[in-house]
Amino acid sequence: MASQSIFAPRYLALSIGIILAAMTIGFEGLAVTTVAPAIAGDLQGIHLFGWIFSAYLLAQIVGTLVIGRQIDRKGPALLFTIAIILFAVGLIIAAIASNMYVLIASRALQGFGAGAMYTCIYTAISLSYPDALRAKILGALGTAYVLPSMLGPYVAGLIASQWSWRFVFWGVLPFLLLAVLLSLPVFRKLKMPDVVEKKEAGVIGMSVVLAVGTGIFLSGLGMLPKMLGAVLLLIGLLLMAQPLRKLLPKGTMVFRPGLSSLIASRGLFFAAYVCTQNFLVLALTDTKGLAADHAGLVVASAALSWCIVAILQARWDAADQGRGRNKRIIAGIMLMLLGIGIMVFVPTLNVVLAVIGEIIAGIGIGLAHTTSGTVAFSLAKEGEAGQVSGSLQFADSFTPGVAIGIGGAIIAISQTAAISMEAAITLAMVFNIVLVLLSLLASSRTKLAQSSSQEPQAGTVRNEI
């Protein structure tokens, strides 16, 4: 039936628009990873290299949380427009940047815009699609974000080598414009449900404090094992503690059954996946002598299996009418545990084992990530679509950023202790295993709440488009 397709006339423009927006954000992020060394060298700012990524991450935290709290009152149209403008302005400033400080400022604008855009996209999904279609659109959205990981680095490298890294930023703008033309008219028709307005005083301030605390925490991690690093680490943790308690669903840090444990589980398993990708490339290039492009192909195998399973899970969801969602999340996390486990011991790691492990881990993340988004929307209360959307995006950005910093600190401290690089990366991979195990624990607690709310339409807010 046409009504059961995300590309039916009613949903066509919105589906294509948000898929393009996700692809744009995904490509831009991976492209910058590829051209960052060229940027730092050209702008004579190699000493500020890390801030190309840190500025984006910290601003994304603020954008995600602030917009997530505002969207339930103001609706997604205006906030999506602001997010697009900030992201576009960031791209333009980056393309014409004359020094690293301007470039870093542009990355902050891009990060805020990207976090806000994704929060608006998730909210639009919650408001626009019935529960039966959410698994399909979230699967398509996940595929759209992951696909650039296959071609993005190569295309960005080609553009930078043939012309200039500046054209990478210019090249994103046309796709962003097309996404806006398709999705914004639909966003304007969406209406938020009438709910009692909650006091959100201090959200912006707490978001900024969290971003500052995270920046100090990551800086401290980078300085370990020096005493100053330990001091900054402690200060960062103290600054982060209260905002995390206030801005996330109540009980997230202690895996409170329901939406809280789901958000915690998603953040943990996604952090483990992202960290594994980063440290696997390091293992293959630095300890196995594999060329960077070949290591990229190994990592791409996980992206491919993620894409395939993200599409298939929508069919499985339709077949069992959503009743097997929690089982799919747990199965996905266990497959991630198996996949990362195959790659954890770096001294015996080879290309074949890496590809096998990556494919299995990709299947796992394809199952768990997409399905967890569908479950989150089913658990959302009326009038909290934006807040839940912000929490989902926060789990996908904040936790991986912090986890990568911790993993990097493990490697740095190991190197200082004269431990071999193979052993150091192995310890970092063990840390990823711990994250997956914690995610599995959190996911098992989600089922306690989900079992008492089995109706597929629970928490759904219907809007005619």
pLDDT digits (tens, 9 = 90+) for 351-370: 999 999 999 999 999 899 88
Calculate the CA 325 to chain-centre distance.
20
Report the pLDDT averaged over residues 374-386. Answer: 74
Each domain of the chain, given as residue ranges in start order, spans 1-132+144-194, 201-247, 250-465
Contacts of residue 312, defined as CB under 8 A and 6 or more positions apart, other chains included, come to: none
Residue range 48-82, pLDDT digits in tens: 666 777 788 778 888 887 777 777 677 777 888 88
**Alpha-carbon distance values, 214 to 79, 221, 261, 402 (Å):** 25, 10, 22, 8
pLDDT of residue 337: 96
pLDDT band at 139 (very low <50, low <70, confident <90, very high): confident
Report the distance separating Cα 291 and Cα 272, nearest Å.
24
pLDDT of residue 248: 83
Q: Where are the beta strands (DSSP E) in 204-310?
A: none
pLDDT band at 191 (very low <50, low <70, confident <90, very high): low
pLDDT of residue 454: 44
**H or E, element range at 444:** helix 421-450
Report the distance separating Cα 28 and Cα 169, nearest Å.
7
pLDDT of residue 173: 87
> The domain 1-132+144-194: what is its CATH number?
1.20.1250.20
Its sign, for the CA torsion 190, 195, 199, 200, is negative
116-120, 142-146, 220-224: least confident range: 142-146
Residue range 415-456, pLDDT digits in tens: 778 888 899 889 989 999 999 999 999 998 876 555 444 443
pLDDT of residue 386: 67
- Give the CATH superfamily of 250-465: MFS general substrate transporter like domains (1.20.1250.20)
Report the pLDDT averaged over residues 17-45. Answer: 77
Q: Is the pLDDT of residue 168 over 80?
A: yes
**Domains 1-132+144-194 and 250-465 agree in fold:** yes
Sequence-ordered alpha helix ranges (H) in 43-147: 51-74, 76-96, 100-128, 131-146
